[in-house]
Amino acid sequence: MEIVLVGLNHRTAPVEVREKVSFTADQARRAADELRSRGILDETLVLSTCNRSEVYGVPPETSHNCLSGLASFLSEFHSVGPDILTSSSITITIATLSSICSGCPPGSTPCF
């Protein structure tokens, strides 16, 4: 299974930029719904904290490269240039994602 990630965090963008692409709870739900309804992603997780705004997702099996569509959607959604977003196709485990969501560094003793 391929999982894609597009977003930014405290290592890749200053706070002024992170503020522009943060999600409220309602915006996160709306973005996830739109990404699925447009066929950009089959499964979606929108993560937005003071240090990061990221969208993790599973692209459709027929998609050869959904990263550009995802980056375009997010830049349009937040009215920012696509050059401020970082993207990658990654293999991620549930433990790693849980660590990120809980604030524990990957590889550390779980905080939960």
Domains of the chain: 3-102 (3.30.460.30)
Catalytic residue numbers?
A: 50
pLDDT band at 108 (very low <50, low <70, confident <90, very high): low
Mean pLDDT, the chain, integer: 79
Q: What is the pLDDT of residues 63-74, one digit of tens each?
A: 666 777 888 888
- Which one is predicted more confidently, 63 or 92? 63
H or E segment at 105?
A: none
Instruction: Provide the pLDDT for residue 106.
Output: 55
Q: Is 82 helix (H, G, I), strand (E, B) or coil?
A: helix
Instruction: Provide the pLDDT for residue 45.
Output: 92
H or E segment at 35?
A: helix 25-37
The pTM of this model reads 0.73
pLDDT band at 10 (very low <50, low <70, confident <90, very high): confident
Q: Whole-angstrom Cα distance, residue 99 to residue 38?
A: 29
The CA-based diameter of the chain, rounded to the nearest angstrom, is: 38
pLDDT over 50 at 29, yes or no:
yes
